Structure 1
């Protein structure tokens, strides 16, 4: 069995192993990390040898930690990262490069239709009828997208939304509210098979699926990092928020909204961002929490998107595609029956 895991902010860990009698055998750990002393790699292998094949990542990491010499130095490597690579080997996880990725970057769509497209496309990927897909959104109208479990009245000021012509929709994933305007926001979705994140905890899967965009931002001169649980941040502030949904049939939806040139005054007119929400960020004002990409890159929105797509294509390959007629028909039906209805939007009043 073979497993790989790119540690967020670190290096690639590769594990090859067999399973005999319910235990790990012939374990070999490799990768492009740094480790001192050299012999410590043998200690890691030995710690995993004979471990129960059903052991979870925390148990495996504890075995590795206990086996390492006190003076061991790990750079770009961690016991937890090795443990995840082991679990990915055992669950026969797939790697990014094993898939034929498709890009969807179509004309602007309504907020409700975007919600529906996410659900339909992810279901198609789960069913094996379409390849894993990167979809870059274009917005036809300003919107607030609230999380699946958020209270509508607690998150949105209806007078502010009406005044600014903002449509309110609810998505199928959890997390917090997002304020978007067509030319001030960059939004994308990854619709992937569950095998891509097999062996990862929910928390680890966020960092894993965001890693490519951190590389794309670095290519644009932005040092960004994953900030648990679901933010992408820089020294200047938050630039993006992610959310995920696992759907029946084995599909994973991971979507991200990035602030390109956000109107902070308008955002605080529409969103009710309470003190408790900001307190865990160590920030006293919502306006100071987000620092847009326009200022940090000096690039046009279209160029930022183009560079992001180019970075993904360079890493994993990416064929141009589009929403099929059947997918669009199903999405329109779903938008009308669910995402554009008051019953869904206010399902948590």
Structure 2
């Protein structure tokens, strides 16, 4: 097994997820690989999920938390500097698909050596005393596969809850919803504090045990160009992170100075397919004009603002700025 080096100072989730996929696609799978990465505050969405449904959009926007979709399935997770991500990248083997025990065993062994009574619970979670410290997922392209997971060493659990806290009664979706579990930091179960570097070192010792010495692999400059290109074209794109969300209906309700607005929006393929606006506002314009303007545009604030150019919102609602209305309609 090779340990992939060269990304220890990279905390951009767009690049780290692109690195993971690039390695899956391009490395020689005659050998298995291990990759570690740490992301700046971010919510990582499962491949089949509705992004808007999984995040607390107002909180995420306020805190500058990045939202990125990954290639593997499963639920949404929160990453920050207190969370270490690991990824085993190997040749495809149907016997290893959904075999989370195989890939989590060295991690659990390392945790046990640290005095943390961790165990695999159910299909893909590592838990301690019934509390989740690691979530895992897999992806395969038929030639190669990756099995990756989180390790909450000392993450901000308050932010975990806030960033992923969405009002379930406001959105109806055909996407795969996350199942929220009680989470804990590994640090709670350690006898004494441990730095992230020391923690990572213990994991490496467990994976690369005697007789299976640590071997390093470094990407070439051309490889890194490919990683950054993939990050730019895919992982930074709205189409990948939001537009791939399955069809969903969202309700946005807010009371403004001139009255309450209740918007019911149907989104498919990242575009507004239908919108209906209700409320007790006292404008005299026909809101059907606005509904027509907004139908068929991307469900993102800049597209809404552009569609509203030239529209006199005061005529429909009373005092209302286009930016305020766009921010109200778009949840993310």
Bin the TM-score by the shorter chain. Answer: 0.5 to 0.7
Cα separation, 2, equivalents of 1:273 and 1:101: 40
2:2 touches 2:217 (CA, 8 Å); kept in 1? no
Match of 1:308 in 2: 203
Match of 1:113 in 2: 15
Is 1:294 matched up with 2:187? yes
Q: Secondary structure at the match of 1:314?
A: coil
Q: Which of these residues, 17, 21, 25, is aligned with residue 123 of structure 1?
A: 25
Cα separation, 2, equivalents of 1:318 and 1:122: 20
Is 1:187 matched up with 2:85? yes
* Residue 272 (structure 1) shift: 2.7
Match of 2:305 in 1: none
After alignment, is 169-178 or 104-113 more displaced?
104-113
2:10 touches 2:16 (CA, 8 Å); kept in 1? no
Match of 1:219 in 2: 113
Structure with bigger gyration radius: 2
Match of 2:67 in 1: 168
CA deviation map 1:97-145 (0-9, x unaligned): xxx43343532231111111111101123x54x7321111033x21110
Cα separation, 1, equivalents of 2:167 and 2:123: 19
Cα separation, 2, equivalents of 1:305 and 1:234: 19
Q: Structure 2: which 5+ runs fail to align?
A: 170-178, 246-269, 271-332
Q: Secondary structure at the match of 2:73?
A: coil
1:132 touches 1:193 (CA, 8 Å); kept in 2? yes
2:68 touches 2:235 (CA, 8 Å); kept in 1? yes
For residues 274 and 290 of structure 1, do their structure 2 counterparts lie closer, same or farther at Cα, with a shift above 3 Å needed?
A: farther
Q: Structure 1: which 5+ runs fail to align?
A: 1-99, 277-284
Q: Which of these residues, 199, 208, 215, is aligned with residue 102 of structure 2?
A: 208
1:239 touches 1:259 (CA, 8 Å); kept in 2? yes
Q: Secondary structure at the match of 1:272?
A: coil
Q: Which of these residues, 215, 218, 224, is aligned with residue 328 of structure 1?
A: 224
Q: How many residues align?
A: 232
2:136 touches 2:148 (CA, 8 Å); kept in 1? yes
TM-score normalised to structure 2 length: 0.65
TM-score normalised to structure 1 length: 0.62
2:56 touches 2:166 (CA, 8 Å); kept in 1? no
Q: Runs of 4 or more off by more than 2 Å in structure 1?
A: 100-106, 197-200, 272-276, 315-318, 320-324
Cα separation, 2, equivalents of 1:198 and 1:153: 33
Q: Which of these residues, 290, 314, 318, is aligned with residue 214 of structure 2?
A: 318
Cα separation, 1, equivalents of 2:10 and 2:188: 24
Is 1:263 matched up with 2:165? no
Cα separation, 2, equivalents of 1:212 and 1:308: 8
Q: Secondary structure at the match of 2:208?
A: helix
